[in-house]
Amino acid sequence: MANQSHEIFSRIILHNNLMPEAELQAYLKANPDPINAAEAMVQMGKISGSLKDNLMGIYKKQMAQVAGQQPATAAAPAPAAAPQAGVPATPKSAPATAVKGAGSELVFRLFKVARDAGASDLHIKSGACPVVRINSVLHDLKSPIDPEVCKQSLLSLLTPEQKEFFLEKEDIDFAYDAGPELGRYRTNFLMQQRGMDGIFRLIPNKVSAFEELGLPDQVKRFTDYAQGIVLITGPKNSGKTTTLAAMVDKINTERKEHVITVEDPIEFVQPSKGCLLSQREVGTHTKSFANALRAGLREAPDVIIVGEMRDLETTSLSITAAETGHLVLASMHTPNAIRTIGRVLDVFPPKEQGQIRSMISESLRGVVSQQLVPSPDGKRLELALEIMVNTPAAGNLIREDRTFQLQSVMQTGKKLGMIMMDESLANLVNEGRITKEEALTRVADPTFFLNQLD
């Protein structure tokens, strides 16, 4: 019976990724009774008291079933700690659902408030009221949070490894999964003057279809290429990740290929459909974007998704992958197509830029730049898009370092789905979906923009 109790207790702890097996066995060796072992874990700060109570309730129920003290039923899944960055899931574990640790009830209540309000971000601030961002506007919630309560509530979401990292570095980035109802969050914790803060970007519970996002047919066509590179760009909070997720979902649904994503962190978790889809998270499954791309070129992928091209090595490997027969979809923080191409070139030393211009002129399939603009009533965000398709004329301008002339190519390429950002903003104004004043804060050429208005 002792062996059986150890087996059941171990299965619950390992299923929830609460600690490595070797460490667990050390606890059981020092505390042969699983109940005492669980108490020791609380005292050592490995788990919270409320989580221990939940786990031991399941342990006792399963032990009672084994002993025949109650009718055998299908064992309820253990309440799993939320999958966190830096904690790989055990091979046998089912998809985990977050369990509220001591103090996390406050955070979970705020998650629900933010979801119900349709917020994009939740800020939990020490000594201040929580704040939600709705359609780009910040709104205070009632009741300031005591700094110590805020700290303990946020720390309760971290694994022991993450907690140790945060207390040493005083900031941490990770993805947090609060379960099917409350969803996933791209998360940052930091220390500031008043204490510990938490910022949560709410990730939608499902990938939106192209039609729901208002993406035109040309963006869909970019997913039909067998090779080349497509760049999705825009400032912060412009929906780049959402657009990339929709493109991945379309490929995953319609093709039968090997797709590798490299993300920091993984936001939309997508199951394999028609494709074999592998999602890798920087810091959890690979050390860097560049490491994952180098390995990816040897893993027989057909499509590679790069969460962000942020340095020389990542950019170089992404272009090389496109040159060697892969379809690469990548994002960058640039406002339009011309600036995007310039940013890619500027990453490289001057002596290499001629060769890179030649490579981009051939491998680039297109650039999609986007912004989300508040509507006049502030109740929604409207999508403004710039789309450049790499035609032979555009490729020639890139190769000859005359990217400043791409604007004329885009103006004459409307039949191919091309449109400039200022033109897209003017269209939204003409349709009454945004105000002229809001658009003028975002245009590159006010004169061109004003000439497009009705």
The pLDDT of residue 371 is above 50: yes
Decide if 80 is inside a domain. no
148-176: pLDDT as tens digits? 999 999 999 999 999 999 999 999 999 99
pLDDT of the residue at 76: 36
DSSP secondary structure, 312-355, as one string: HHHHHHHHHHHHTT-EEEEEE--SSHHHHHHHHHHTS-GGGHHH
* Mean pLDDT, residues 47-53: 67
pLDDT of the residue at 15: 62
Q: Assign residue 338 the CATH number of its domain.
A: 3.40.50.300
**Which residue among 158, 185, 203 closes a domain?**
203
Q: Are 74 and 85 in contact (CB under 8 A)?
A: no
pLDDT category, 1, cuts 50, 70, 90? low
pLDDT category, 2, cuts 50, 70, 90? low
The pLDDT of residue 52 is above 80: no
Do residue 264 and residue 379 come from a single domain?
A: yes
pLDDT of the residue at 75: 34
pLDDT of the residue at 87: 32
Torsion of CA 35, 37, 38, 44, to 10 degrees: 150
Decide if 354 is inside a domain. yes
pLDDT category, 82, cuts 50, 70, 90? very low
Do residue 378 and residue 277 come from a single domain?
A: yes
Decide if 343 is inside a domain. yes
Do residue 351 and residue 239 come from a single domain?
A: yes
* Mean pLDDT, residues 341-365: 96
Residue with tokens 């709410």: 202
Q: Are 295 and 317 in contact (CB under 8 A)?
A: no
pTM of the predicted protein model: 0.76
The pLDDT of residue 29 is above 90: no
Structural domain span for residue 302:
210-419
Q: Assign residue 122 the CATH number of its domain.
A: 3.30.450.90
89-147: pLDDT as tens digits? 322 222 333 434 446 789 999 999 999 999 999 999 999 999 999 999 999 998 899 99
315-327: pLDDT as tens digits? 999 999 999 999 9
Decide if 98 is inside a domain. no
Decide if 87 is inside a domain. no
- Cα separation values, 343 from 126, 249, 309, 357, 367, Å: 38, 28, 10, 12, 13
Average predicted confidence (pLDDT) for the chain: 87
Overall number of domains in the chain: 3
